[in-house]
Amino acid sequence: MKAWGVQIGQSAARKLRKLDPQITRELLLYVQGVADSGNPRSKGKPLEGDMAGLWRYRVRDWRVIVLIEDHIITITVIDVGHRSEIYRK
């Protein structure tokens, strides 16, 4: 089985730069661990409504919103944020 790649979208990269470096590291290590597991859906939850098609991972009080692209075997990080703010758009 081919390993999943991880990409960080521009908006997510901006938000990650603003976070505490320890939190950023923890979030990125979690996503890489999910990618290395071979099944990125096993640790996530599909989103609904306006965010249908996206998945979310819970990392303590933080959420990582991703797009899982099977055809190119890539997890793209779309957004990151605190659980109290991430779904408010």
Q: What does the alpha-carbon distance between residue 39 and residue 53 come to, in Å, rounded to a whole number?
A: 16
- Amino acid in position 44: G
- Predicted local distance difference test score (pLDDT) of residue 1: 60
The answer to whether residue 15 is domain-embedded is yes
Residue 89 clears pLDDT 70, i.e. is over it: no
DSSP string, 9-78: -HHHHHHHHHS-HHHHHHHHHHHHHHHHHS-TTSS-EE--GGGTT-EEEEETTEEEEEEEEGGGTEEEEE
The answer to whether residue 28 is domain-embedded is yes
- Condensed to tens digits (0 to 9), the pLDDT of residues 8-59 reads 999 999 999 999 999 999 999 999 999 999 899 999 999 999 999 999 999 9
Q: What is the mean pLDDT of residues 64-84?
A: 96
Domain count, the chain: 1
Q: What is the value of pTM for the model shown?
A: 0.92
* CATH number of the domain encompassing residue 33: 3.30.2310.20
